[in-house]
Structure 1
Amino acid sequence: MNRSDHNFEYGIQRDQIGKDTLNHRTLMKYTINQHLSNLKKSQKKWFDPLILISRTERSMNRDLDAYRYKWSNRTKNFQEHLEHFVSEQTAWTGP
């Protein structure tokens, strides 16, 4: 094998190694991007407020009577505060 044949063969091998390295880097970059994308999707699902609401609704449905009691209690308190506020306003401004 003469020198030019050796250099030519070495050049082909070097080019192939460069292509393999580039392919490996491209593949690794793609794999990393896929993992990041999947991570973002899973985080979005985890923090999705609609899921939180549905979980809250399910827990309320388990103890519906307690939920109704809390709701009626809060409504009653709100009504009392509203009546008190209105009566104070009319006392300041007159009837």
Structure 2
Amino acid sequence: MKATGVFLLLSLAFCCYQGNAEMGGAADRGIEPACDNYDLSRGCTRIFDPVCGTDNLLYGNECLLCYQNRQRNIHVRIKNRGMCFNSA
């Protein structure tokens, strides 16, 4: 039940976020997400398998990162699998 709540909160946060990726900056690094593996028109699974985007935002899974890229018309890549950590 807790995992479902966390997933729903993260999904809501991603839907409300209106930020942009850095142009020519962080979006150029990282791993290319395998967006062709997902049917984004049908939505994403609820499986929590977090990825940290090159925009330093946490996405619930790779599919959600691809979905947000399409929705916001940007190109965020995968910085690392798992949680985001500040590299300050």
More strand by share: 2
- Give the TM-score band, short-chain normalised: under 0.3
TM-score by length of 2: 0.23
Structure exhibiting the larger radius of gyration computed from Cα positions: 1
Q: Give the number of the structure with larger relative contact order, counting CA–CA contacts within 8 Å between residues 6 or more apart.
A: 2
More helix by share: 1
